[in-house]
């Protein structure tokens, strides 16, 4: 299916999903019009994206407690299944925003207790936040100067060991310098923090 044709179908489906028809009815109609299963999935996904762009502010208000989800569902403006999907998508976006805020605070060396107080638990639970903080701290530790120096020295030590073994025994164990080179490479690489801007 061409992009333009898919977009036309998606716009029509998005219009129908706004309280006029259920997802099942629309999918049945699309099958009757001769669309393949794969095309129907693509059209439905595009229609949901159109609705997501249109209703994102409304869904965000629901999630932030400024609007009641039941009121929106009763109004019939959006199909309940679509509203549920949009709420899930927007919740994920808000959880990512929380993780970005945590990453920023970890980079700025805020104490963990202070970071935990700032977490909006509607979108990210305390255990999830603590797990994210631990990962960020591990990344910071790996990127620290002392760990880098230890990695470089360990890698150089293995390379030197392989040379000593070669000279002393006239045998070359190729895997030893390879491990040393990998250690040096890892020590020189800076790992990016998760959800870093």
Does one domain contain both 90 and 181? no
Does one domain contain both 33 and 127? yes
Does one domain contain both 100 and 161? no
Q: Which residues make Cβ contacts (< 8 Å) with residue 197, sequence separation at least 6?
A: 100, 103, 104
Residue 182 lies in domain: 144-188
Counting residues of the chain whose pLDDT is more than 90, the rounded percentage is 28
Q: Which residues make Cβ contacts (< 8 Å) with residue 5, sequence separation at least 6?
A: none
**CA geometry: angle at 61 spanning 59 and 62, to 5°?**
65
**Interval 126-141 mean pLDDT:** 91
Q: Write down the pLDDT at residue 132.
A: 93
Does one domain contain both 115 and 35? yes
Does the pLDDT at position 97 exceed 60?
A: yes
- Whether residue 194 is contained in a domain is answered as no
Does one domain contain both 153 and 164? yes
Neighbours of 143 (CB within 10 A): 14
Distances (CA, A) of 13 to 20, 38, 47, 86: 10, 16, 6, 16
Does one domain contain both 35 and 117? yes
pLDDT band at 142 (very low <50, low <70, confident <90, very high): confident
Does the pLDDT at position 143 exceed 90?
A: no
Q: The pTM is what?
A: 0.67
The two tokens of residue 192 are 């990016």
Does the pLDDT at position 95 exceed 80?
A: yes
Residue bearing the bigger pLDDT, 60 or 98: 98
Does one domain contain both 106 and 178? no
pLDDT band at 141 (very low <50, low <70, confident <90, very high): confident
**Interval 52-67 mean pLDDT:** 82
- Whether residue 25 is contained in a domain is answered as yes
In the chain, how many domains are there?
2
- Whether residue 195 is contained in a domain is answered as no
Mean pLDDT for the chain overall = 85
């Amino acid at each position: 299916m061409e992009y333009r044709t898919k977009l036309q179908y998606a716009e029509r489906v998005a219009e129908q999903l706004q309280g006029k028809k259920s997802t099942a009815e629309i999918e049945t109609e699309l099958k009757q019009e001769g669309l393949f299963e794969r095309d129907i999935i693509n059209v439905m996904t595009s229609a949901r994206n159109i609705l997501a762009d249109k209703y994102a502010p409304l869904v965000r208000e629901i999630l932030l407690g400024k609007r009641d989800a039941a009121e929106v569902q009763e109004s019939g403006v959006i199909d309940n299944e679509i509203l549920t999907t949009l709420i899930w998508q927007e919740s994920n976006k808000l959880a990512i925003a929380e993780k970005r805020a945590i990453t920023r605070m970890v980079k700025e060396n805020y104490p963990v207790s202070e970071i935990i107080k700032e977490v909006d638990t509607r979108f990210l639970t305390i255990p999830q936040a603590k797990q994210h903080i631990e990962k960020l701290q591990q990344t910071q530790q790996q990127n620290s100067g002392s760990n880098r120096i230890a990695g470089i020295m360990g890698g150089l030590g293995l390379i030197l060991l392989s040379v000593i073994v070669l000279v002393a025994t006239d045998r070359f164990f190729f895997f030893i310098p390879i491990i040393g080179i990998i250690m040096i490479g890892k020590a020189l690489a800076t790992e990016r923090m998760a959800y870093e801007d």
